[in-house]
Amino acid sequence: MIIFCGRKSISKPLQPVLLICFFNALCIFYRLVSEDIAGAITNQFPYQIGILDIMMPNMDGFSLAKIILKVHPKFPILFLTAKNQKIDRLTGLKIGADDYIAKPCDPEELVLRIRNILKRTLPNTKTQIRIGQYHLDTEKLLLSHPSENIRLTIRELQLLLYLLRYNHKTIKRDDILDSLWEINDYFTGRSLDVFISRLRKYFQHDPEIKIQSLRGIGFEVDFPM
């Protein structure tokens, strides 16, 4: 999933929701500076759906959608914007967008609309993930092992999905706090440590799963997939 928007305040509240509901790459671009950069991004698309704002500096969402669809004619696009005039909705749909939602929007409605689009374009889209000896159901917030079932909290699932996105890589503490907590201070740092400890406990039945702390840096995770 890729989001193009003009301001971070637009996408920040949606990131945790989208991370929970979609275990796809979530990549966000702010303030595209030129048509060449937009073209370079779209030429190597690993994404399954694009969420586009319309009011962006240097290039509006309609122009960006045309560039994307020129390279990837069947790429699913959803406009999420404050522009709610009939002419804007018709323009977006005529360009080839799959849906058009006016802000402010309900996150649950946004998730359902995205899922409906993905069902049409990616019939085999899964919400279930195998992690070593465990099975994760992101819709039910359920982590299952032959010996027990664990009902995750929203925050636990957010953190687990974030770690899974960076499997076998070094993950900075600051990046986790900025992405999930949006506040980086002593108290949120201690909260992160508590949630990391919980995840380690949940995965204790599989010795192949490792969540290693790197002093002064962050974490390194190893999830057999």
| Packing angle of the helix pair 86-95, 61-71 (nearest 10 deg) | 10
pLDDT at 162: 87
Q: What is the enclosing helix (H) or strand (E) of 94?
A: helix 86-95
pLDDT at 206: 96
Six-digit token string for 13:
């509240």
Report how far residue 215's alpha carbon sits from residue 223's, in angstroms, rounded to the nearest whole number.
Answer: 20
98: which residues sit within 8 A by CB, 6+ positions away?
76, 77, 78, 117, 120, 121
Write the DSSP assignment of 102-118 as a string of letters.
Answer: ESS--HHHHHHHHHHHH
pLDDT at 5: 61
List the domains of the chain with CATH numbers: 2-121 (3.40.50.2300), 152-222 (1.10.10.10)
User: What pLDDT tens digit does each residue of the chain (225 aa) get?
Assistant: 566 665 554 555 565 556 555 544 445 454 554 566 566 555 555 567 888 888 877 778 898 889 888 888 888 899 988 888 999 999 999 999 999 998 888 877 887 888 888 878 765 555 788 999 999 988 788 999 999 999 998 889 889 988 988 899 999 999 888 878 877 888 889 999 999 999 999 999 999 999 999 999 999 999 998
pLDDT at 161: 86
Contact 159, 202 (CB under 8 A): no
